[in-house]
Structure 1
Amino acid sequence: MKKLLPLFLFQLLLLSTLFAQTTIKGKVTDRKGEALPSANVFVKGSYDGATSDLDGNFTFKTSQKDTATISASFVGYEPFEQKIKLDKPIVEVSIKLEEAMNVLNTVTITAGTFEASDSKKMVMLKPLDIVTTAGGGADITAVMQLLPGSQRVGEQEGLFVRGGSASETKTVIDGMIVQNPFFSSTPDVPQRGRFTPFMFKGTAFSTGGYSAQYGQALSSVLLLQTKDKTDNASGWNLNANMAGIGATYTHKGSVSGSVYYSNLSPYFNLIQSNIIFDKMPQGFSTSLTVNENLTKNSSLKIYGTYTDNQSTILFPSYEEVGTKYRFDLKNRNVFTNGSYQVNFDEGRWILQTGLSYSHNTDKLTIGGNAGDRLDERTQVRAVMTRLFGRNNASSVLFGTEFHAIKVGNVYNQYDFRLNENYGTAFVETELYITPKLAGRFGLRSEYTNVIDKANIAPRISLAYKTGQYSQVSLAAGQFYQTPEKNYLYLNQNLDFELANHLILNYQIIKNDRTFRVEAFRKDYKDLVREYTTFYDPNPYRFPIGKTDNSGFGYAQGFDGFFRDKKSIKNGDFWFTYSFLDTKRLFRNYQQEATPTFASKHNFSVVYKQFLEKISTNVGVTFTHTSGRPNYDFATTSFLPIYMKPYQNVSLSASYIKVIKGNFVVFYASLDNIFARKNVFGYRYSADGKQRFEVTPPVYRTFFLGISMNLSKQLSKPKEADLEN
């Protein structure tokens, strides 16, 4: 009997506990009242709980007393918690879950923007994409020309976007405008960009409708974000190619320095060139990068570079067949860019500040006449961002920046100089109104002393999620730009030039496939117009006529883009098509006409394949651009002369190997493999009686190089580096 007593007491205690349990029941739904089956519902801090059935209903018992915290979770929805009183035998709870705001299911602003970073759902291109694209030459701008909305203009550098000239696109690094993103301009010879793609963790190419944070660009901005510090690796990187040799040393992932010497003599000794060099292009550059996480909440980035380049080319004089003139160029460029970022209040507040300085001088001798080009820019910038809403998905930011710019042109007895100070203020908010609807609303104001004018530019973007993988976006706004310096030298009573953008976009991303189509309309107002008695097509001419802001124009059309990284194992291909209808009355045009830098049809196909067995990437690119219009010297009718279409087929290959613990890449490229004789335009003699074709420097090019890391820490790239 004594042995049975404890067992009896235990059973009595168990029964009393069971009789004291409370039943919790209810239903789990979304915000529209639709049932959510298989949701997990439980009492926080206990094992009491259940899973909702097909109708969203649940029921379970708990032995907790007085109060309890009910928790619920469901994939794709925000966690739910609610405190309840256990004062009845049966307690009913109604649970409504809100759809989670995350990168997988939240709508994103896409109209007018191609992202190339790892931070958003709409990833398009990454640094590795850029350097492995045939025909791109590992140049950021050249590869961007293979995306919809832009086109390749072979006789000058820059991004030409949707009927806009190169001067209408600005390059921005960490929020700071780059005064000289390309090497110094040479007549009819396009120049590369100054920066390597692997400097940046992301690239956003705007085809219009861009954020209120940026301005002074009628058409687009190329946004580049430098990499963050990710490791403490140290080591050397050596590279050599047909254009030069270079070395970079990185110390603990924080500080890196590089030197590079270029000389194109070996290259042009192997291929036939359409250019006659009296002195082969050669130069020296060095750079220093500091990237440090000062605290867990703050970081500092500093980048500085110095380049010194020179060349001498014998150009056709366009006066008589066979006559030439010397064009001597000596360029020195200094560029520094520093940014500091700190977040506080658990990351809800973010302060970003920046300071940049650039100084560029070109010493020129043109046909025996001395001339100089010089420019200098100092910029300071500060932006404060406040994150709010579920998962801090929404934000509001406000900022300001100031620019001090000095430009000048000296040619014989002419000495033109200009000092411009302009300041801006902007505010912008990005709201996730629902998981399916997002909006970005911005306002930007600018003032410049050079024309003593101010402007206010409203901008808006909306995006709506039409399905699990698809969405539509709309963007509209006003975009101002100060007139080009050659006009301001002679007339500082001009006003801002203006472009109004309207963009409609549809995009679907599913199973590593992307389809995107975008329609646009761009209206130009207050363009600078020069009144002359005849039309001179020389793009390097200096204004001679009276100027005002009576110019106008439009650009409209649509783009298509498809990319597939799924269908072919280890394969990746994309194709783009752009249709453009545009006319303008501006510069010294005598009537409204299609600009000479605009083509109606642009088409490109890019294919890449990784051959796993031999560790080699191969790629091919085909580009087709319909003929651009040209107009005869002194024409009054402005009837276009269309050039033949531009076509190019290019190949690239890179072989990856580890040699004694060091990561080595051998790379090669062949551009315009069929040596098609593309023509980019015409130049005329002074009397207009003779016309000369503008052709590429080389019809067919090939390029070889090697890059090697001499540190085991750096011998193999991280997966994140390849992905980003």
Structure 2
Amino acid sequence: MKKFITILLIISSFGVEAQNIISGYVTSTKGDSLPGVSVYIKNTYDGTSTNAKGFFSFKTAVNGSQFLVAQSVGYKNQELAVNLNESPLQIEIQLKEAIDQLNAVTITAGAMEASDENKAVVLKPLDIVTTPSAMGDIIGAFQTLPGTSTVGNDGRLFVRGGDASETAIFIDGLQVGNAFGTTASNVPTRTRFSPNLFKGSFFSTGGYSAEYGQALSSALALNTVDIPLRSQGDVSIMSLGGGYIQTLVGKNNSITASANYFDLSPYQSLIKQNFDWERSPYGWDFSVAGTQKVGNGGFLKAYFQKESNGLKLWQKQPGDTGRGNLIGIKNDYTYAQSNIKLIGQNNWSYTAGISYSDNFDQFDLSGQKVNQRSRLIHAKGVAIKDFSDAISLKTGLESTWSIFEESLVNEGLTRDFLDQRYNVFVESDYYLSNQLIFRGGVRSGYSILGDELWVDPRASVSYKFEHEGQLSFAYGRFSQLPMDKFRVLNNSLGNTEAEHFILNYFISKKGRTFRAEAFHKSYDNLITFSGSNLAPENISLSGTGYAKGMDFFYRDRKSIKETDFWVTYSFVDSKRKFDSFETQVQPSFAPKHNASIVAKHFVSALQSQIGMSFSFNDGYVFTNPNLAGEQNSKTKSFQDLSLSWSYLPKPNLIIHLACSNVLGRDNIFGYQYASQPNESGLVPGMPIAQGAPRFLFMGIFLTLSKDKTANQLNNL
């Protein structure tokens, strides 16, 4: 009996030791009670969960110094040192919100990003090539986005009152020189690069990252595909020519080679043209791209493209009854780049690369032969460090060589310049929470030719609401050296400058995206000159201006079955004193009202996708010398309805048909006037019109691969 009592006493003493009590409350850093939080002694099973009021209480047999752990989804784990010999304990615990990169707020002011990683997708590569009015051109698709203006006689990208030269294009972070094909005045051009190269894009309408420079209005950053899905061959037979692409994919590498040829002569002999062609546009291109995986998640990439093209065109002159001036153009272009991405230790990553652009033009201007050559070499290194899930740093160093030369062949006269620029940038993202992010950065540069040093600050902040919409604000100062044609005449020219203020609201939820943005942009040191654009004199940086307004974007993939559509509207109030204008005027490339609608519907029964796009602006201003003042007249509104049809009789065979300006509207982009008045005392003029009432395109795309379901959807 005594032995039994002793055992009971021992058990009783253990029961007394098990009465250590821990209780308390768990709240967020905002003071909100947090229910369902797991609270326990580290390396034991002793613990509990908080109730609806954030309260917890449990008993433990553990003694001495221990760690109390609190953890909950969406919050950082918290460990507190406790002394259980001081039981009972009353603990107050605060949990900090964990930054979830998939659900956290992002910077959206002035930015439209489309990539495999980013949830705020605006335009994927497939969207770019299936927009009917784009005719497979990257820029044609981006012209349906907010902030852009359609300038039908040019074809380049005009953003928020800015000239096309104010937009810079980058591939894998490296600047591309002469990204658009050379053409005659009032003959629209296209980008040189195929949409198939790219997996995603970052299109800025202003306020862009400190990583990019030499662009007053916009940066378009395109990211190439890492490794394609499969080995395949792609045959293209088109109304304008044809081509072939061969892709070979290994376990850790890939190589893609393509060759294309086009000649518009057969097409333009069948379709009525408003242009008087002596030799329709023609050309060929060849490219090769290779990728090799390196290290843990790194890539080594190389790309080379060579192309050659030309045209001859009679350009009628105002007041002239003849065919006008004969313009001949022969263009040769080379682009090459190589870059590497490496994942380092301690959350460091590195990218480095170099690009080379070489554009050589031979002009024959009614017997006057002019040669121009422009080369750009851009070398860049970037380091990125994630200090935590809340703080990251990006810093980089760049060097750019610009070489320009032009010559009058008949006279044996030549002029040129060489400039080397150095840039340093640093930028940091700081997540204060999943709802609030701040980005600050600065970009500095120095030009040897202009002997000028500049520093441009950039800053953005964004707040995400509970309904998942977010409000962003961005500020930035941007510098850009003048175009080569001015710098070769005046080597000492410094930077033109712009300052951006942007307020943005953005929400993307359940297949629907809405974006609204207000902006104000001011210009300083714009190029001004006397004389004509072809022979400028007294070039200086005395121009000023502004652009302000708002734009809206709505995209919907859910409301209508098998249908994807987006609607865009932009209002731009822009005036600037530039070129040879003596006062601040509305530029001809900046219509006040711009709108577009794009819709794509898949008809399963017909194995077809039907596309429609409609573009509108309120017309282009121009100067009529027969009236007083500058930019004193305006054309009627621009309107273009384009349709497309894509038929898939087999998974690997696509037949694509597209037509622009289906209604045949006679769009006018301005007027060209003679230099002298006629006998009546009036200066004769003629409209700058479309090259043809409409443009028709037909293509047959065949994919050859082991996987018979592989196709060329990205080539539509």
TM-score clears 0.5: yes
SS in 1 for 2:331: strand
**Match for residue 680 of structure 2?**
none
Displacement of 1:639 after TM fit? 5.0
Using the TM superposition, name which of 77-86 and 241-250 deviates more: 77-86
Give 1:454-469 correspondences, 5 Å limit: 454-469=453-468
**Alignment partners' CA distance in 2, 1:25 and 1:340:** 54
Displacement of 1:182 after TM fit? 1.1
Structure 1 residues 51 and 666, CA gap change in structure 2 (3 angstroms) = farther
Structure 1 residues 699 and 17, CA gap change in structure 2 (3 angstroms) = farther
Give 1:155-304 correspondences, 5 Å limit: 155-229=153-227, 233-252=230-249, 253-304=253-304
Match of 1:557 among 549, 554, 562: 549
Structure 1 residues 99 and 316, CA gap change in structure 2 (3 angstroms) = same
Question: Is the contact between residue 110 and residue 208 of structure 2 (CA under 8 Å) also seen in structure 1?
Answer: yes
Amino acid at match of 1:186: A
Displacement of 1:45 after TM fit? 5.4
Matched, 1:637 2:629: yes
**Match for residue 695 of structure 1?**
689
Structure 1 residues 30 and 404, CA gap change in structure 2 (3 angstroms) = same
**Alignment partners' CA distance in 1, 2:66 and 2:650:** 60
Displacement of 1:172 after TM fit? 0.9
Match of 2:140 among 139, 142, 150: 142
Structure 1 residues 66 and 709, CA gap change in structure 2 (3 angstroms) = farther
Question: Is the contact between residue 21 and residue 64 of structure 1 (CA under 8 Å) also seen in structure 2?
Answer: no
Displacement of 1:47 after TM fit? 5.1
Match of 1:566 among 558, 561, 564: 558
SS in 1 for 2:123: coil
Give 1:415-434 correspondences, 5 Å limit: 415-434=414-433
**Alignment partners' CA distance in 1, 2:522 and 2:378:** 30
Structure 1 residues 318 and 265, CA gap change in structure 2 (3 angstroms) = same
Question: Is the contact between residue 234 and residue 714 of structure 1 (CA under 8 Å) also seen in structure 2?
Answer: no
Displacement of 1:88 after TM fit? 5.6
Amino acid at match of 1:596: S
SS in 2 for 1:578: strand
SS in 1 for 2:140: helix
Amino acid at match of 1:684: Y
- For residues 568-599 of structure 1, the C-alpha deviation after alignment (integer angstroms, 9 at most, x for no partner) is 22222211111111111111112221111110
Matched, 1:676 2:674: no
Question: Is the contact between residue 263 and residue 280 of structure 2 (CA under 8 Å) also seen in structure 1?
Answer: yes
Give 1:97-112 correspondences, 5 Å limit: 97-112=95-110
**Match for residue 664 of structure 1?**
653
**Alignment partners' CA distance in 2, 1:714 and 1:64:** 65
**Alignment partners' CA distance in 2, 1:46 and 1:651:** 68
Match of 1:29 among 8, 27, 30: 27
Displacement of 1:361 after TM fit? 0.8
**Alignment partners' CA distance in 2, 1:174 and 1:446:** 21
Structure 1 residues 694 and 58, CA gap change in structure 2 (3 angstroms) = same
Match of 2:131 among 127, 130, 133: 133
Question: Is the contact between residue 702 and residue 711 of structure 2 (CA under 8 Å) also seen in structure 1?
Answer: no
Question: Is the contact between residue 319 and residue 686 of structure 1 (CA under 8 Å) also seen in structure 2?
Answer: no
Identity percentage over the alignment?
35
Question: Is the contact between residue 34 and residue 52 of structure 2 (CA under 8 Å) also seen in structure 1?
Answer: yes
**Alignment partners' CA distance in 2, 1:428 and 1:295:** 26
**Alignment partners' CA distance in 2, 1:628 and 1:397:** 42
**Match for residue 375 of structure 1?**
374
SS in 1 for 2:133: coil
**Alignment partners' CA distance in 2, 1:213 and 1:423:** 13
**Match for residue 612 of structure 1?**
604
Question: Is the contact between residue 486 and residue 542 of structure 1 (CA under 8 Å) also seen in structure 2?
Answer: no
**Alignment partners' CA distance in 2, 1:613 and 1:89:** 74
Amino acid at match of 2:177: Q
Amino acid at match of 2:305: T
Question: Is the contact between residue 275 and residue 313 of structure 1 (CA under 8 Å) also seen in structure 2?
Answer: yes
Structure 1 residues 42 and 261, CA gap change in structure 2 (3 angstroms) = farther
Structure 1 residues 709 and 78, CA gap change in structure 2 (3 angstroms) = farther
- For residues 547-577 of structure 1, the C-alpha deviation after alignment (integer angstroms, 9 at most, x for no partner) is 2222111111111112222212222221111
SS in 1 for 2:127: helix
**Match for residue 338 of structure 1?**
338
Displacement of 1:437 after TM fit? 2.2
**Alignment partners' CA distance in 1, 2:67 and 2:710:** 50
Structure 1 residues 30 and 692, CA gap change in structure 2 (3 angstroms) = same
When the two structures are superposed, what TM-score results if normalisation uses the length of structure 1?
0.91
Unaligned runs of 5+ residues in structure 2 are 678-682
Matched, 1:598 2:587: no
Amino acid at match of 1:36: L
Displacement of 1:59 after TM fit? 3.5
**Alignment partners' CA distance in 1, 2:302 and 2:506:** 36
Match of 2:396 among 399, 412, 430: 399
Amino acid at match of 2:333: N
Match of 1:710 among 697, 704, 711: 704
**Match for residue 504 of structure 2?**
505
**Alignment partners' CA distance in 1, 2:193 and 2:139:** 10
Question: Is the contact between residue 297 and residue 342 of structure 1 (CA under 8 Å) also seen in structure 2?
Answer: yes
When the two structures are superposed, what TM-score results if normalisation uses the length of structure 2?
0.92
Amino acid at match of 2:601: Q
Structure 1 residues 708 and 62, CA gap change in structure 2 (3 angstroms) = farther
Question: Is the contact between residue 18 and residue 59 of structure 2 (CA under 8 Å) also seen in structure 1?
Answer: no
**Alignment partners' CA distance in 1, 2:87 and 2:428:** 49
**Alignment partners' CA distance in 2, 1:14 and 1:169:** 82
Question: Is the contact between residue 703 and residue 711 of structure 2 (CA under 8 Å) also seen in structure 1?
Answer: no
Question: Is the contact between residue 634 and residue 670 of structure 2 (CA under 8 Å) also seen in structure 1?
Answer: no
Unaligned runs of 5+ residues in structure 1 are none
**Alignment partners' CA distance in 1, 2:605 and 2:688:** 44
Question: Is the contact between residue 320 and residue 685 of structure 1 (CA under 8 Å) also seen in structure 2?
Answer: no
Amino acid at match of 1:672: N
Question: Is the contact between residue 365 and residue 371 of structure 1 (CA under 8 Å) also seen in structure 2?
Answer: yes
Amino acid at match of 2:473: L
SS in 2 for 1:596: coil
**Alignment partners' CA distance in 1, 2:48 and 2:608:** 53
**Alignment partners' CA distance in 2, 1:515 and 1:239:** 36
Question: Is the contact between residue 22 and residue 88 of structure 2 (CA under 8 Å) also seen in structure 1?
Answer: yes
Amino acid at match of 2:621: P
Give 1:51-70 correspondences, 5 Å limit: 51-62=49-60, 70=68
